[in-house]
Chains A and B, each alone.
Chain A
Amino acid sequence: MGYVLNFNLIWRHFDKLWGGLLLSLELAVISIAIGIVIGLVLAVWYVSAGRAVRGVIAAYVEFIRNVPLILLVYLVFYGLPTVVDIAYSAQTSFVATLALYSGAYLVEVFRSGLEAVPRGQLDAGKAIGLTPWQRLLHVRLPTMLRITLPALSNTFISLFKDTSVASVISVPELTYGAQWINFNTFRIVEVYLVVTAMYLMTGYILLFALRLVERRFRAAR
């Protein structure tokens, strides 16, 4: 019964995996970029808003965080167009979903970072006559960024891996490429070994790059 590993078929279709990886990265970058905007805006709004707004933002965060991503992907891709009259590609639908999803996680990261900025620094900003916007821009956000960088790195890596969920709606990213090769060659062990290695290496490279950024900023603490 000995299963003999044979990677030849994998290499023959490697363009599916390589193209998939690039698409995974693209999906991650676009979604996270939108997520950062959502997260920043809502976090800043949250810390300066009254109870009602806080409640709405908290509800968004809790909803997203307590529903599995795969379900959100189905809801947005299959559910929404049947209710409202809109049409979008699987890829657009996934980016929208992952952006909303990462936004919810990033609100939490940014919010706790904003709240961790020492009051004394804000007092110092007030004392030299900075307006609220200037204090936010020149005092609170820069310090918040330094505080949240480690947590941000972890969130980014995790969101990159979450792009694999896009395979369930046939977005041809890395995991989808793996499934395609598996269906067509039945080399299940080989293909998933290669894909695992690809996720692992990409994750490590991302982590390494983010740690470099962190170190640069930490020196400036």
Chain B
Amino acid sequence: MSTDQNDAPALLDIRDVAKSFGAVHVLRSVSLQVTRGEVVTVIGPSGSGKTTLLRCVNFLESYDSGSIRIDGREVGFRDTGNRQRRSEGDLAAMRAETGMVFQGFNLFPHLTAAGNIMLGLTKVRGKSSAEARSIAEHWLGRVGLAHKADSLPAELSGGQQQRVGIARAVAMGPKILLLDEITSALDPELVGEVLEVVRSLAEDGMTMVMVTHEIAFARDASSRIVFMADGGISAVGPPREILAADNTNERLRTFLARFRASHF
């Protein structure tokens, strides 16, 4: 795992991003670079801006200032540099370059597992439905759900739904995968199967930014951990450094201590 990010050009380049809801500063000048193949986990107390940051990356949320680039292209605004919002069609095309997996799964309830994956492939990628079906089946196989292709979301467990959610996102062939607390809504016994899928995608070299409360997973699977507090990045570094008991960042130590007390 590489920890030195300076030589490779960043696939995701977040610079000085700030956002407020009224008087509340959700993000204060956040900068973060992620290189191809990296797995970055974002931890921090609730309300620290983790999810908002992730949602800015595919422009589900807009931001007030700063820039977010994927592969050199500004995500939500035209490349002219004067913060002119992209057209809806342009935004849709940009978003297709990132995959997102949600805390609440957010599967389309009227479509089968395969149908959920095929929708983007046929409508956005322009695949024939036979082609889309075979891609869907491939990814369902990868997440261990080949036998559930024709099940509706309501017929699947939470863990299974979330694996379909992951398959839906990666089947589009995104440059980067955004995972937003994807195990938080799951019963504890279902968390493992979902994390296993994420781990195997990481081994394939998928670039990921993952907001999570699974500290053990962050320790084992990520190249870097980002610790957010009060809308800013308070610490960033390789897992063993961030999670070290003698880390000098007091907020981080307090967060981890409180976290360990409640989870172990």
Measured CB to CB, the nearest residue on chain A to B94 is: A129
Is the interface on chain A under 10, 10 to 19, 20 to 34, or 35 or more residues? 20 to 34
- Chain A residues with Cβ below 8 Å from B152 are 219-221
Complex: A219 Cα to B58 Cα, angstroms? 33
- Chain B interface residue count, CB cutoff 8 Å, equals 29
Pick the most buried of A124, A126, A130, A219: most chain B CB atoms within 10 A of its CB. A124
- A-B contacts, CB under 8 A, total: 80
Does B4 have its Cβ within 8 Å of any Cβ on chain A? no
Query: Smallest Cβ distance from B52 to chain A, in angstroms?
Result: 13
Let me know if A121 and B60 touch, CB within 8 A.
no
Does A139 have its Cβ within 8 Å of any Cβ on chain B? yes
Complex: A118 Cα to B92 Cα, angstroms? 20
Measured CB to CB, the nearest residue on chain A to B153 is: A221
Question: If A120-B102, A124-B102, A134-B123 touch, does A129 touch B96 (CB 8 Å cutoff)?
Answer: yes
Query: Smallest Cβ distance from B243 to chain A, in angstroms?
Result: 30
Neighbour of A130 across the interface among B107, B123, B154, CB < 8 A: B123
Question: If A120-B104, A142-B110 touch, does A127 touch B58 (CB 8 Å cutoff)?
Answer: yes
Pick the most buried of B99, B119, B154: most chain A CB atoms within 10 A of its CB. B119
Neighbour of B110 across the interface among A125, A127, A146, CB < 8 A: A146
Could you mark each residue 106-131 of chain B with 1 if its beta carbon is under 8 Å from any beta carbon of chain A, else 0?
Answer: 11111000000001100110000000
Let me know if A128 and B96 touch, CB within 8 A.
yes
Complex: A219 Cα to B152 Cα, angstroms? 9
Neighbour of A126 across the interface among B95, B97, B99, B154, CB < 8 A: B95
Q: 7 A-B residue contacts at CB 8 Å?
A: A121-B108, A123-B60, A126-B58, A129-B94, A130-B120, A134-B92, A220-B152
